[in-house]
Amino acid sequence: MKLQLALDLVNIPQAIEVVSQVQEYVDVVEIGTPVVINEGLNAVKQLKEAFPNTTVLADLKIMDAAGYEVSQAVSHGADIVTILAVAEDESIKGAVAEAKKQGKEILVDMIAVKDIKTRAKELDEFGVDYICVHTGYDLQAVGKNSFDDLKAIKSVVKNAKTAVAGGIKLETLPEVIAAQPDLVIVGGGITGKENLKETASQFKELIAQG
């Protein structure tokens, strides 16, 4: 089980500062969608240049022009690129084909999917690398989480790795770990704390005990 740190509410220098503090405890660093919107793929490029040995995920949440957008993210240093599960099948297949060509990976974000099991089965057959259940900020705000969705996809996914994101905190981490995803994605649960390093190390320790 790996830990991904999501950086959403920072600019580029702040992102680099956060990663320099917690680098040893995280397996993947995500340049979040709000950062890409504010700073463009330059944020991915600068993070990769600052931490060349770190796996960098570009949270583009692609919806169309998938092959092209994956190729752009990869050319800026992304190792993993996200696409939305609600995108057309052709877009998902295009993203997977481009990532494979470049030796990189695709994470599909299940945000807003209604029939989780059916879509997860289809995505699994398209050869995506990760299928991620995700409660976005707007549903977190009304008290939702993705823990039951994680169990649902775990019951049908045979090939892809599974991931979970959305409001995960140290207090809720044991419930997440119990469902055994391959990747746990945490943003505010780490970046919102005073002592980032201590919090990241506690996440890492619990995940290692898995």
Ligand X SMILES: O=C([C@H](O)CO)[C@H](O)[C@H](O)COP(=O)(O)O
Interface residue with ligand X, options 166, 183, 196, 203 (CB under 6 A): 166
Q: Are strands 183-186 and 2-7 parallel, antiparallel or unpaired?
A: parallel
Per-residue x/- track, 73-112, ligand X (CB under 6 A): ----------------------------------------
Residue closer to ligand X (CB basis): 144 or 151: 144
- Applying CB under 6 A, the span of 48-56, 62-70, 153-161, 165-173 interacting with ligand X comes to 165-173
> Which C-beta is closer to ligand X: that of 121 or that of 197?
197
Q: Does 71 bind ligand X (CB under 6 A)?
A: no
Q: Is 196 in the site for ligand X (CB under 6 A)?
A: no
Spell out, one character per residue from 124 to 153, where the chain touches ligand X: x when CB under 6 A holds, - when not: ------------xx----------------
Residue spans of alpha helices (H) in 113-191: 116-125, 137-140, 147-154, 173-178, 188-191
Nearest to ligand X of 41, 185 (CB atom): 185
Residue 167 interacts with ligand X (CB under 6 A)? Answer: yes
Smallest gap from Cβ 36 to ligand X, in A, equals 9
Return the number of the residue (181 or 189) whose C-beta is nearest ligand X: 189
Tell the smallest beta-carbon distance from residue 80 to ligand X (Å).
Answer: 13
How many whole angstroms separate alpha carbon 137 and alpha carbon 47?
A: 24
Q: State both tokens at 62.
A: 């692609």
For 5, the enclosing helix (H) or strand (E) is strand 2-7
- Distances from the Cα of 140 to the Cαs of 119, 143, 166, 168, in angstroms? 22, 5, 7, 10
Nearest distance from C-beta of residue 110 to ligand X, angstroms: 12
* Distances in whole angstroms, Cα of residue 151 to Cα of each of 32, 59, 79, 148: 25, 23, 27, 5
Tell me how crowded residue 103 is: count the other CB atoms within 10 A of its CB. Answer: 8
> Which residues pair with residue 96 across a beta bridge?
none
Interatomic CA distance for residues 11 and 8, integer angstroms: 9
By CB under 6 A, name the binding residues for ligand X. 6, 8, 32-34, 59, 136-137, 165-168, 185-189
